[in-house]
């Protein structure tokens, strides 16, 4: 998996193109990620008890993993990810500057 929870990514398609955010959740089976502030959708929550009000809750929707690119922590650019065997095993590296991504 090239993208992990906690990474900063930039969305490359759709109405949120260019938006940056942190990855909140990765769903490897579906190949999707949930990015903070991107692909927002509004869920309407019904009242549970009488007297309580329904609520509208905004939350990020799923984005296909191919539609986001990781933002390199070293050079700050949206880059593709390569792999490299370093100390501590497999490391992800930035294809633009060659530095390992945290
Ligand atoms: Zn870089």
Is domain 8-94 given the CATH code 2.30.30.30 in the classification? Answer: yes
- CA of 62 from ligand 1 middle (Å) equals 26
Q: Where are the domains of the chain?
A: 8-94
Q: Residue 102 above 80 pLDDT?
A: no
Q: What pLDDT does 89 receive?
A: 85
Contact assessment for residue 35 and residue 63, using Cβ atoms and an 8 Å cutoff = yes
The number of helix segments (H) and strand segments (E) in the chain equals: 0, 10
Residue keyed to tokens 């065997």: 85
Q: Is the separation of the CB atoms in 35 and 12 below 8 Å?
A: no
If you measure from the C-alpha of residue 11 to the centroid of ligand 1, how many angstroms do you get, rounded to a whole number? 17
How far apart are alpha carbons 24 and 28 in whole angstroms? 13
This prediction has a pTM of 0.84
- For residue 73, give both structure tokens: 């922590």
Distance 76 CA to ligand 1 centre (A): 6
CB 79 within 8 A of CB 94: yes
Residue 21 and residue 36: Cα distance in Å, rounded? Answer: 5
Pairwise CA distance, residues 90 & 31, whole Å: 21
Confidence at residue 41, expressed as pLDDT on a 0 to 100 scale: 92
* Dist. CA 2 → ligand 1 center (Å): 14
- pLDDT one-digit tens code per residue, 33-92: 999 999 999 999 999 888 888 999 999 999 999 999 999 989 999 999 999 887 778 889
Give the C-alpha separation, 42 to 20, whole Å: 20
């Amino acid at each position: 998996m090239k993208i992990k929870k906690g990474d900063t990514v930039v969305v490359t398609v759709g109405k949120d193109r260019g938006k940056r955010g942190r990855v909140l959740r990765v769903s490897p089976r579906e190949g999707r990620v949930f990015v903070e502030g991107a692909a927002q959708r509004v869920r309407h929550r019904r009242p549970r008890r009488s007297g309580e009000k329904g609520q509208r809750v905004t939350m990020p929707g799923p984005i296909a993993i191919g539609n986001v690119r990781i933002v390199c922590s070293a050079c700050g650019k949206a880059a593709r990810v390569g792999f490299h065997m370093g100390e501590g095993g497999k490391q992800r590296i930035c294809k633009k500057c060659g530095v390992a991504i945290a």
